[in-house]
């Protein structure tokens, strides 16, 4: 990578734009939000299920000046909340999304409005009619156990007991979750709004927001007018503005400088005529209201539909139809609602889109087969590229927040998180799946937002697999090596817009290589209790000895997006040399007179070292939780190269920049590229090409240097995420193809190959390297995460989160490595972990509570067993401790391993 001379390091904030201005359309200019004074003037835009819940939460936290405005009438405003069927299935592969659903139900449980419940915990049933669907329910059962949702896998006989009118002849199993429930969304809105009003909040109906006023890039007020007439324009003073406008969120977000990747989509819904076979009563014999259910909600994932009782009728929702996007500007307004009675979030029913789901309901519920539909409509909901909500503060306008694309399921939970975030500065849980800053702004074209939202709609009930990629707007980011990777048969996946190879078909030839050596899958036991976790004769202390790999068998489920070629690529990395396209790694350049002080304050480790130093460090929140892990390389005085995790890091770092302009951040990710060159022959490949000393003595582990490779200027970082000798080699994108070709020409005699993310994932787990966002988050401390080495408590000047860590270094759990023998497959992230000390793992898996969950797992091709990382209570973290880990309803024995499992002495990296 070519880096300007250090004399430019102190360039002011107004210096000419760098390449970052091309990759980040809207630079972050707002400051890091500070806790809001309870007396601050807060205006919430939108009085639906989220806005009402947020007002209630803000008032309960002592806020005294809360105003909620909505263009529709109270308390049924005409948005999605007014027609939402209110199904809340808590089980989710995401722990955070499950927690938000649990919070929503827990808040509304037992509350009544005018003698009518806000929530009915009738339970849920998810049915399976094929073996594949049943496997998915077994996976969901594991999630439920991991996250504390009561659940049971049941057979067709039990389904018939819970729903006597269902035809169970084709049902082979089901997942029953008895604490799931129906939220009566309109009542939930009214109850929470009235409670907020009783606490001092004001609600204004038929009031349309026209604009947001600001001064010095900070919110000062909201301009509104009468929604019915467009008259009486006025300003509501505001210190904080929160957009909770539901399907209007994309338009409202623009008022605060946001480009929210969310899009309204139509969804078919209808009721049947009264069903004579339905009793119209609850299990206790009491009569059902016209919106109540006495039996569990039913979800039929294989047919893309759900249904439940509405008194003596059945309400049906259909996802198995073509995506129908609605342009945000085409949504109808309040005047249309008042004139016609047609709610903006209800659109004309498209019969042809509903026919399949209607016929499928009749297959399992024959009593509705000949009944006409009533009150049918296409409801409008917001969809995002990954299905997650949109929370957070604007990067452009201080005081402006959004809480958008939130369904009833997570409504009250999201409101609690946002209220905590606004009032205290601490959202209380990990928000990286919720914060809208998780998306790269460069991706957010209208076509991308619309296409990804449509895809998200289409996949609501689809089964997702590891490494499953979007099919929409591919190829937005490619490295200079992309064509070479395709020539090698790269099987591509997408990540944050980048095309990345999982493996390369051309490497199948390695299995026929005379030097390829394999080994049997390893049974483990006493090895876990040795000084380091792998006392294995297959791995010699002789670094020149061959390192064999095991090629696992995977079942049909785990074969998706996987190939045994990954094992061959792992073998080549451990025995020869491999080149990995690492261009998708996020990287910044931080420079300026204040850069050292700025980075030291935000990092747990000492990073302001002499030029050439590379440091692994953590950025923490004020509670000592891990906001990110980064690599900091010192290029010169006041000049730093940062390897980070993604857009959230840039958002936060930019917000914390000194106001005096003494620090500048450049996002150089797309203007540069990176090759990870690793393996025992990496130095043999690079040396003939290099101007510079890359010997072990000349460029030691965790050091960096500017060198030239085949005439190309390169920044070489001697780091290795796969546990072998080598470097991350960075250069400008214009030089990338020459660098790749030169390395492959030089490496031909050593058997160099391109390797992909599948091998990479396994190799990094064998070394015990953590992945932020999956293995650890802001809910975890460094010590608990096994990263205490990245903290310098005695560092001069201290660092953010230091006091909290000193007071509470541990939160009572540990991230541990585990090993397990499985005939095929591997546990997925979110699989529940059980303590096995009091009896067999299988018995405890059936009867006991989960004590933790898996964060990452893969087959360790070199170690010959399934390996992974999991959170467990501290008392279960000692090597040799037996655990039980569930996969598809079956609990397998696992064992805590000492770390690192592979090359504990680091001899293979430091040579």
C-alpha to C-alpha distance for 760 and 764, rounded to whole angstroms: 6
C-alpha to C-alpha distance for 390 and 401, rounded to whole angstroms: 10
The single residue of 306, 588, 769, 861 carrying the catalytic annotation is 306
Cβ-Cβ contacts under 8 Å for 740 (sequence gap 6 or more): 480, 481, 484, 579, 675
Cβ-Cβ contacts under 8 Å for 18 (sequence gap 6 or more): 666, 668
- The number of CA neighbours under 13 Å toward the Cβ of 365 is 28
Handedness of CA 291, 297, 303, 305 (dihedral sign): positive
Cβ-Cβ contacts under 8 Å for 189 (sequence gap 6 or more): 47, 48, 49, 52, 75, 76, 77, 81
Q: Is residue 267 annotated as part of the catalytic site, yes or no?
A: yes
Q: Is residue 432 annotated as part of the catalytic site, yes or no?
A: no
* Strand extents, DSSP E, 805-897: 813-820, 832-835, 852-860, 865-873, 882-887, 890-897
Which three-class secondary structure state does DSSP give residue 304? coil
The long-range contacts involving 163-168, CB below 8 angstroms and separated by at least 24 positions, are 163/125, 163/295, 163/296, 163/298, 165/277, 165/278, 165/365, 165/367, 166/298, 166/364, 166/365, 167/363, 167/364, 167/365, 167/366
Question: How do strand 852-860 and strand 753-755 relate by DSSP bridges?
Answer: unpaired
Residue 882 dihedral angles phi and psi, to the nearest 5°? -85, 135
DSSP state for residue 210 in the 8-state scheme? E
Picking from 857, 454, 537, 498, the residue whose alpha carbon sits closest to that of residue 673 is: 498
C-alpha to C-alpha distance for 405 and 627, rounded to whole angstroms: 24
DSSP state for residue 457 in the 8-state scheme? H
Q: Is residue 858 annotated as part of the catalytic site, yes or no?
A: no
Write the CA distances from 449 to 26, 320, 456, integer angstroms: 17, 21, 10
Handedness of CA 34, 38, 42, 48 (dihedral sign): positive
C-alpha to C-alpha distance for 750 and 415, rounded to whole angstroms: 58
The single residue of 263, 267, 321, 432 carrying the catalytic annotation is 267
Please return the burial class of 819, using the count of CB atoms within 10 Å of its CB with bins 0-12, 13-18 and 19+: buried
Segment holding 130, helix H or strand E: none
Say if CB 162 and CB 176 are below 8 A apart.
yes
The single residue of 353, 581, 629, 775 carrying the catalytic annotation is 629
Picking from 269, 275, 318, the residue whose alpha carbon sits closest to that of residue 294 is: 275
C-alpha to C-alpha distance for 796 and 775, rounded to whole angstroms: 29
Question: How do strand 65-69 and strand 202-204 relate by DSSP bridges?
Answer: parallel
CA dihedral 880, 886, 892, 894 (to 10 degrees): -10
Segment holding 485, helix H or strand E: helix 482-487
Catalytic residues, by residue number, are 267, 306, 629
């Amino acid at each position: 990578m070519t880096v300007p001379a250090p004399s430019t390091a102190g360039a002011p904030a107004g210096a000419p734009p760098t390449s970052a201005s091309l990759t980040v359309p809207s630079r972050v200019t707002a400051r890091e939000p500070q806790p809001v004074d309870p007396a601050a003037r807060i205006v919430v835009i939108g009085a639906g299920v989220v806005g009402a819940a947020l007002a209630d939460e803000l008032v309960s936290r002592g806020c005294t000046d809360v105003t909620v405005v909505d263009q529709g009438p109270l308390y049924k405003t005409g948005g999605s909340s007014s027609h939402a069927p209110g199904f809340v299935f808590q089980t989710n592969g995401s722990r955070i999304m499950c927690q938000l659903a649990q919070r929503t139900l827990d808040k509304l449980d037992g509350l009544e409005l005018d003698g009518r419940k806000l929530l009915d915990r009738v339970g849920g049933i998810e049915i399976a009619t094929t073996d594949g669907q049943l496997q998915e329910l077994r996976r969901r059962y594991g999630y439920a156990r991991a996250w504390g949702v009561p659940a049971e896998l049941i057979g067709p006989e039990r389904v018939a007991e819970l729903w006597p009118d269902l035809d169970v002849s084709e049902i082979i199993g089901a997942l029953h979750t008895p604490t799931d429930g129906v939220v009566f969304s309109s009542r939930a809105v009214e109850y929470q709004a009235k409670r907020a009003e009783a606490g001092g909040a004001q609600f204004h109906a038929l009031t349309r927001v026209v604009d947001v006023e600001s001064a010095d890039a900070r919110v000062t007020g909201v301009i509104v007018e009468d929604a019915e007439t467009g008259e009486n324009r006025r300003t509501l003073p505001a210190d904080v503005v929160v957009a909770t406008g539901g399907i209007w969120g994309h338009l409202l977000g623009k008022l605060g400088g946001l480009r929210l990747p969310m899009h309204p989509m139509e969804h078919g819904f209808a009721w049947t005529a009264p069903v004579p076979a339905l009793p119209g009563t609850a299990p206790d014999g009491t009569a059902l209201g016209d919106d109540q259910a006495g039996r569990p909600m039913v979800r039929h994932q294989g047919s893309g539909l759900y249904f439940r009782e509405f008194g003596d009728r059945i309400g049906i929702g259909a996802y198995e139809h073509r995506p129908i996007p609605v342009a945000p500007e085409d949504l109808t307004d309040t005047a249309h609602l008042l004139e016609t009675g047609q709610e903006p979030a209800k659109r004309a029913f498209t019969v042809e889109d509903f026919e399949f789901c209607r016929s499928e309901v009749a297959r399992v519920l024959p009593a509705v087969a000949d009944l006409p539909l009533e009150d049918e409509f296409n409801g409008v909901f917001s969809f995002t590229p990954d299905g997650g909500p949109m929370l957070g503060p604007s990067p452009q306008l201080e005081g402006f927040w959004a809480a958008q694309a939130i369904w009833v399921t997570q409504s009250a939970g999201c409101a609690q998180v946002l209220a905590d975030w606004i009032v205290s500065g601490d959202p209380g849980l990990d928000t990286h799946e919720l914060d809208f800053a998780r998306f790269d702004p460069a991706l957010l074209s209208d076509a991308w937002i619309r296409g990804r939202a449509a895809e998200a709609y289409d996949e609501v009930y689809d089964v997702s697999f590891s490494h499953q990629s979007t099919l929409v707007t591919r190829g937005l980011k490619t490295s200079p090596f992309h064509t070479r990777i395709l020539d090698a048969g790269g099987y591509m996946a997408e990540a944050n817009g980048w095309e990345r190879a999982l493996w390369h078909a051309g490497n199948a030839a390695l299995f026929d290589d005379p030097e390829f050596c394999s080994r049997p899958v390893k049974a483990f036991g006493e090895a876990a209790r040795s000084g380091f976790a792998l006392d294995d004769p297959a791995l010699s202390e002789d670094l020149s000895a061959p390192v064999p790999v095991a090629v696992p068998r995977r079942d049909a489920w785990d074969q998706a997006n996987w190939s045994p070629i990954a094992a061959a690529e792992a073998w080549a990395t451990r025995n020869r040399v491999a080149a990995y396209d690492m261009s998708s790694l996020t990287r910044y350049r931080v420079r300026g007179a204040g850069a050292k002080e700025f980075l030291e304050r935000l990092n747990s480790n000492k990073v302001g070292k002499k030029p050439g130093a590379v440091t692994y460090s953590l950025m923490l929140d004020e509670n000592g939780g891990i906001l990110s892990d980064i690599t900091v390389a010192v290029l010169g005085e006041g000049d730093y190269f940062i390897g980070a995790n993604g857009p959230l890091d840039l958002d936060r770092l930019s917000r914390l920049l000194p106001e005096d302009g003494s620090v500048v951040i450049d996002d150089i990710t797309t203007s540069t590229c990176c090759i990870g060159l690793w393996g025992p022959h990496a130095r043999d490949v690079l040396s003939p090409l290099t101007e510079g000393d890359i010997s072990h003595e000349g460029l030691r582990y965790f050091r960096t240097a500017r060198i030239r490779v085949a005439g190309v200027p390169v920044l070489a970082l001697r780091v290795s995420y796969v546990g072998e000798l080598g470097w991350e080699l960075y250069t400008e994108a214009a030089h990338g193809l020459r660098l790749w070709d030169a390395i492959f020409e030089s490496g031909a005699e050593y058997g160099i190959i391109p390797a992909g993310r599948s091998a990479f994932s396994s190799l990094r787990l064998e070394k015990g390297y953590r992945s932020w966002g999956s293995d650890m988050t802001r809910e975890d401390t460094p010590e608990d995460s096994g990263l205490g080495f990245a903290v310098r408590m005695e560092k001069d000047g201290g660092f953010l989160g230091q006091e909290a860590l000193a007071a509470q270094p541990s939160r009572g759990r540990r991230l541990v490595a585990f090993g397990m023998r499985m005939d095929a497959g591997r546990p997925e992230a979110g699989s529940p972990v059980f303590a096995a000390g009091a009896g067999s793992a299988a018995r405890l898996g059936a009867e006991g509570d989960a004590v933790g969950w898996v964060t990452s797992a893969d087959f360790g091709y070199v170690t010959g067993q399934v390996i992974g990382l999991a959170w467990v209570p501290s008392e279960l973290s000692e090597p040799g401790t037996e655990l039980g880990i569930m996969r598809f309803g079956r609990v397998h024995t696992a064992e805590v391993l000492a770390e690192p499992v592979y090359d504990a002495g680091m001899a293979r990296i430091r040579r």
